[in-house]
Amino acid sequence: MKRLLIIVLILTAIGITVFYQSNNAILVKVEKISKKDLNLTINLSGNLSFLRKIEIYPKISGVVKEVRVKPGDKVKKGDILAIIDAEDLKKQIEQIKNIIDLAKISIAFGTLNSQSEFKITSDQIKTLESYYESLKKLYEERIIKSPINGFIAKVNLSPNETVQISQNNLNLNNLLGNFSSLLNMFNLALPQNNPAFIIIDPTSLNAILKVDENNVLKIREGQKAIITVDALDQNPWEGKVTYVSKIPSLNKDGTYAYEVYIPIPQLGEKVVEGMTISAIINIGVKKDVITIPLSAITFKEGKTYVYVYENGKAQEREVIIGDMTLDEIEIKEGLKEGDLIITSPIDKIANNKKVKIDNEIKR
């Protein structure tokens, strides 16, 4: 008797459950289909780079008397970066001036005649004078100044360091003839450059993105972009495409990619070179198309489906999809204006399942 009672109770429970499930609809959210414009986008990734990096070089030899900046310092155009003690160059300038004066006096009084070891002409004196003026201007370069507004990226000088500029192999014989031997007595030569500072222009910051061959022709100058810098809390940032490369570069995985440049000068003082970024580029608009939320799509056996609300039930319907964005997708076939598609909860419904609308339908 007890066993029979237990069986009856179990069957009753099962019956109640089946009755409850069959008569209680799942609450769903729906959206009424209407045509609208679809903004097409491409998602890319890349890095930040400063395109304008100015290298400053000392133009004279000497001992570094003072270095006034360090990496990270902001500088303005004309700010003094370093001072070099150029006493050797100053002596050279004085020596050449004395040679010029001596030569002029000698020519005037005829003391440099055919019997003299050195022969000098008026043209050679003019060459010396030009060289003298050049060295005077060069002497002013002992004070190294910033040519732009920016910040110091690298410093290659330190106080009391000796800067030795390599000598220029200038063939003075072609300029001065026999008189060049007189210059050689004073070890005179024109200097060359050695690196000293690197200054970055923060307004030259660009987002450099990588795009494959399937999408590169969709990107054009002037297209708007939304950029996110992974290391920043404050995002996103807006910019416009200014350049799309025509020549691809080789990626580490052996594939090719094209570079897309987007200036973002407003970030120049907030970031550093090489930071990783992601970007969404708006490549155009499709007019008057049917779109639905991407979350409403389901896939089965290689086909694409959505659930449509019809007479209190969820009806599975196959669709043909087109372009998509991060949260929307175009429906080319399978839906029409006025249809009610179920947007959630997709994972809890099935074909012909009873459902009940749980939201206000926007007209």
CATH of the domain at 316: 2.40.420.20
Q: What CA–CA distance (Å, rounded) separates 320 from 36?
A: 17
Q: What CA–CA distance (Å, rounded) separates 159 from 11?
A: 95
Predicted pLDDT at 231: 94
Of the residues 234, 257, 285, the one at which a domain ends: 285
pLDDT digits (tens, 9 = 90+) for 261-306: 999 999 999 999 999 999 999 998 999 999 999 989 999 888 999 9
Mean pLDDT on 53-61: 90
- Residues 229 and 296 both lie in one domain: no
Confidence of residue 125 (pLDDT cuts 50, 70, 90): confident
- Residues 146 and 258 both lie in one domain: no
Of the residues 183, 200, 217, the one at which a domain ends: 200
Higher pLDDT: 219 or 120? It is 219
Q: State which residues form the domain around 147.
A: 53-200
DSSP letter assigned to residue 25: P
Q: Percent of the chain having pLDDT more than 70?
A: 82
Confidence of residue 62 (pLDDT cuts 50, 70, 90): confident
Q: Which amino acid is at 218?
A: K
Predicted pLDDT at 254: 85
Residue 223 belongs to domain with CATH number: 2.40.30.170
pTM equals 0.65
pLDDT digits (tens, 9 = 90+) for 177-204: 444 444 444 444 444 455 799 999 999 9
Q: What CA–CA distance (Å, rounded) separates 260 from 44?
A: 9
Mean pLDDT on 63-70: 94
Kindly report the number of other CB atoms within 10 A of residue 273's CB atom: 12
Of the residues 160, 178, 200, the one at which a domain ends: 200
Predicted pLDDT at 169: 34
Predicted pLDDT at 103: 77
Number of structural domains found in the chain: 3
DSSP letter assigned to residue 260: E
